[in-house]
Structure 1
């Protein structure tokens, strides 16, 4: 479908994702009891990261403030929240009679909670039953739609510990261990009912992970601002988010700088409020291939793919890149050079070699990327064929800005 026709369909669409309360720059253990009382929750099941549970006092303080409301807890999440872990936890939540999930962690933790919600709502406790519920695309290919028709059985309250914006979508992409591919769910009422942004908890996250998830959030904002079918409200928020990320991510190196942590959480808020309303391009989706196939964290892959996409769009997204440069102070540098300088300043990967990948691994990703429903859709500069994908990945292979034509 031509871009102009797609713009007619999407230009007036804003997708509200169902949040009722956002608490920003607060202490989670101080506000949680009142929030539970507000919503009338009495039986809380906590899903958290193992590192928070075993290496910090964060979960102990959460347990203490919940008191008798706490009916269960699991930290058995795992990288990319494997389906077997999701199914096991869903049965634990069901058996505990929980009336709300409390996620304390990053994207894998929140993704697991969304998938658990789907299990309980659809009474789906096997791999086969759950995989039947994967999303479908709208007729124009710009929007992900749920296939679940059950009344939602449980909601989530989120305390994010990273910056990649998972708390702002109903989308869950746990990994299927049998195929090494990401399952793809849009969960009815899957976005958290409430989000608690506690900068002190955010500061507990190891710095490399915190910075790379910030880049994943930045990548979401850039994809929103450079969407093939933009929305004015989403673009406005994305531009503000990009400026906040660029200004504050370098300041996270000081763990005592609570304002920088709070500002980065604000950037995820701005990003999340718009990202579901417009289609995203290559870099957003290719991490779902690079991650499981290369055993690479989503956020690390996002660093490299964000940079490659900016190079790929040079000369094709001139108006969008000009607006973003203006939001960043009017620098005359190519947009991809601004991004590369940020990644180098943060000590983050800029090329596929930095992720430990070799040519054979990258080539093995081409066919799964072609088969993915979103990787080759909705790109301002078209990506239609295996050769197009190889050309973009060649840009990801190098970090010097050269317009490489093939992988070395």
Structure 2
């Protein structure tokens, strides 16, 4: 499909009812549950959060009898088998809300669980029938689910990649090792709790890489092929906040740096569903499962390659960001490279441990992916285009 341009940009409200920032989760969560009338909590977290931090024990204590179930069986990229098992568990304990504590994999899993419960889809084949379709102009992902939401999510993010701001869930299919693609009705969390003390317990390397993933989302919003002025304004401020505060997370991060990075995810999330994103956002979904690479690490490399690809094609967008960063005379990709180097993040496909043979295996799946070759400000439509931008990812 060729790049398509809709008649006008559209702003999409994400369905959140409460966003609480710079607050203790143990104080805020009971208050949110009471506000929404929830009494039966099913908690989803990663194994590391459950066993290597005090977060879950503290939440257990504040929830008391409201906690009716918990799972920490959340594999990388949210395998469908984990999704289906957790959905059955939440159904069996009659949970009326899911509380997620974690990063993108945890929140993705919770969104897919919501879809299972709302649709009564508790096996792989039934769930996979509910994958999204594209709008006629190729710029919007549309749900195929018609069931009203029977359960919602409250998110307590522990990373910075902005999954809490979308209804999109992309768990990995255990059988094919490909990403399933769902747009979940009311899939954006009903409430978000940003607790900087919880963020401070995330390993710095993970925090930094997910911050780059959030930065990549903001850049894709600012450099969208169909921009929206409100979304661009939020994205440009988010880029500035990420760039200025991520380096401060390398040591003993201050509360100010942590809260500013959480603000950056908030600003990014408020706009990212309103405009189509380009190559670096979606190619992560190929490089991750095919290369066995964490999404956020892949985002570092692909973000840099995309900035090089767009040099001369996104001058107004890059100029505004460069000015905000007080670096008006430098190429945008050079600014990004310096940030990645400072944060000790991967900058090339070699840094990800990928061979040229392995990357070659990704060409066909990338061309078949419904989004990778769509909506790029500088077109990426053919095998030649795809190889050309990937070639830029072999060197910093």
TM above 0.5: yes
Classify the secondary structure of the residue corresponding to 1:360. Answer: helix
Residue pair 2:222, 2:231 contacting (<8 A) in 1 also: yes
Q: Shift of residue 318 of structure 1?
A: 1.3
Q: Shift of residue 383 of structure 1?
A: 0.6
Do structure 1's residue 170 and structure 2's residue 163 form an aligned pair?
A: no
What is the alpha-carbon distance in structure 2 between the residues aligned to residue 256 and residue 359 of structure 1? 37
Q: Shift of residue 315 of structure 1?
A: 1.0
Q: Which residue is equivalent to 1:403?
A: none
Correspondences of 1:282-293 after superposition (within 5 Å): 282-293=279-290
Q: Which residue is equivalent to 2:57?
A: 60
Residue pair 1:217, 1:268 contacting (<8 A) in 2 also: yes
Residue pair 1:165, 1:271 contacting (<8 A) in 2 also: yes
Q: Which residue is equivalent to 1:405?
A: none
Residue pair 1:288, 1:298 contacting (<8 A) in 2 also: yes
What is the alpha-carbon distance in structure 2 between the residues aligned to residue 233 and residue 184 of structure 1? 27
Q: Which residue is equivalent to 1:306?
A: 303
Q: Shift of residue 254 of structure 1?
A: 3.0
Classify the secondary structure of the residue corresponding to 1:72. Answer: strand
Q: Which residue is equivalent to 2:347?
A: 350
Unaligned runs of 5+ in 2: none
Runs of 4+ in 1 over 6 A off after TM superposition: none
What is the alpha-carbon distance in structure 2 between the residues aligned to residue 2 and residue 115 of structure 1? 30
Classify the secondary structure of the residue corresponding to 1:357. Answer: coil
What is the alpha-carbon distance in structure 2 between the residues aligned to residue 347 and residue 32 of structure 1? 35
Q: Shift of residue 16 of structure 1?
A: 0.4
Output the aligned Cα RMSD.
Answer: 1.1
What is the alpha-carbon distance in structure 2 between the residues aligned to residue 84 and residue 152 of structure 1? 21
Q: Provide, for residues 211-261 of structure 1, a one-character-per-residue CA deviation record: whole Å limited to 9, x for no partner.
A: 000000000000000000000000000000000000000001233411100
Unaligned runs of 5+ in 1: 400-408
What is the alpha-carbon distance in structure 2 between the residues aligned to residue 155 and residue 255 of structure 1? 35
Q: Provide, for residues 122-152 of structure 1, a one-character-per-residue CA deviation record: whole Å limited to 9, x for no partner.
A: 0001110000000000110000010000011
What is the alpha-carbon distance in structure 1 between the residues aligned to residue 124 and residue 79 of structure 2? 11
Q: Which residue is equivalent to 2:278?
A: 281
Q: Which residue is equivalent to 1:381?
A: 378
Q: Which residue is equivalent to 2:136?
A: 139
Q: Shift of residue 316 of structure 1?
A: 1.1
Correspondences of 1:1-400 after superposition (within 5 Å): 6-9=5-8, 11=9, 13-399=10-396
Classify the secondary structure of the residue corresponding to 1:314. Answer: coil
Residue pair 1:7, 1:230 contacting (<8 A) in 2 also: no
Q: Shift of residue 328 of structure 1?
A: 1.2
TM-score by length of 2: 0.99
Q: Shift of residue 290 of structure 1?
A: 0.0
Greater RCO (CA < 8 Å, at least 6 residues apart):
2
What is the alpha-carbon distance in structure 2 between the residues aligned to residue 342 and residue 8 of structure 1? 36
What is the alpha-carbon distance in structure 2 between the residues aligned to residue 349 and residue 22 of structure 1? 32
Residue correspondences, number: 396
What is the alpha-carbon distance in structure 2 between the residues aligned to residue 34 and residue 305 of structure 1? 40
Residue pair 2:2, 2:381 contacting (<8 A) in 1 also: no
Q: Provide, for residues 105-138 of structure 1, a one-character-per-residue CA deviation record: whole Å limited to 9, x for no partner.
A: 0000000000000000000011100000000001
Q: Shift of residue 317 of structure 1?
A: 1.1
Residue pair 1:316, 1:380 contacting (<8 A) in 2 also: yes
Residue pair 1:162, 1:205 contacting (<8 A) in 2 also: yes
